[in-house]
Amino acid sequence: MGGLPGTGKTTLARLLAARIGAVHLRVDTIEQAIVRSGLAQHPVGPVGYVVGYALAEEHLRQGLTVIAESVNPLSVTRDAWRATAVGAGVPVLDVEVVCSDPAEHRLRVTSRSVDIPDLPLPNWQQVVDREYEPWDRERVVVDTAGQEPHESLAALLARLRSH
C-alpha cells in the first residue's frame, strides 16, 4: 500500500489489517527503529524498505497476510514488494492511496501529529516536492478525499473483493 504522506494510508492500512487479521508492516516504524539504534539518521535510504521486504517475506512464508505500507514512491520499490510476494509464492495486489482534494491533503499534512516518537514529519512543500513516480501497473486506487476512514475502508474492501 503506497501513497504520498497525508493521504490516509496508515489509517487505512491499520483498519484493513484489523478487519482481515493481517500483519501491518509500516516502513516509517522500521526506519525510526533504525534511527533509534544509532546506525543511521533520517533519511535512512533504502535500508527501511530492505528490512521491510525481509519481514514481509518471513510473514508471508508463515501463511500470514501482509499489508506493507510505505510511500512506495518508485517503480523499483514497487517491483521489490511484488518480487517479495512472488518469491513467497503468494498473490499480490498493489494499492495506491490518494487524496484528490489538494486543500484537504494540505490540511491533513499540516495538522497531523506524529504517532512514532521522534519521527520527523514532512511539511507540505516537502510532500509536494517529493519524488513520486507515476504507477505503471494495475493497482487498486483508493481516493480518501471527502471520506471518513471507515468509508475509505469500505471502498477498499469492495475493490478487494472484485480482485
Among the listed residues 128, 13, 52, the one whose alpha carbon sits nearest the alpha carbon of residue 44? 52
pLDDT for 152 beyond 90 = yes
| Stretch 4-10: mean pLDDT | 98
Within 8 A by CB and 6+ apart from 64, the residues are 22, 23
* CA distances in angstroms from 41 to 35, 36, 77, 130, 143, listed in the order given: 5, 9, 20, 18, 32
What pLDDT does residue 163 have? 81
pLDDT for 157 beyond 90 = yes
* Rounded CA separation 67/59 (Å): 10
Mean per-residue pLDDT of the chain: 97
C-alpha cell at 115: 504517532
Strand pairing partners for 67?
24
**Domains parsed from the chain with CATH numbers:** 9-161 (3.40.50.300)
Amino acid at 52: G
| pLDDT range class, residue 13, cuts 50, 70, 90 | very high
What pLDDT does residue 162 have? 87
| pLDDT range class, residue 54, cuts 50, 70, 90 | very high
| pLDDT range class, residue 43, cuts 50, 70, 90 | confident
End-to-end CA distance of the chain: 15
| Stretch 34-60: mean pLDDT | 95
Question: Are the CB atoms for 32 and 118 separated by under 8 Å?
Answer: yes
pLDDT for 90 beyond 90 = yes
pTM of structure: 0.95
| pLDDT range class, residue 24, cuts 50, 70, 90 | very high
> How many CB atoms are located within 10 Å of the residue 125 CB?
9
> How many CB atoms are located within 10 Å of the residue 70 CB?
23
**Per-position DSSP letters for 17-79, written without gaps between them:** HHHHT-EEEEHHHHHHHHHHHTS--SS-TTHHHHHHHHHHHHHHHTT--EEEES---SHHHHH
What pLDDT does residue 148 have? 97
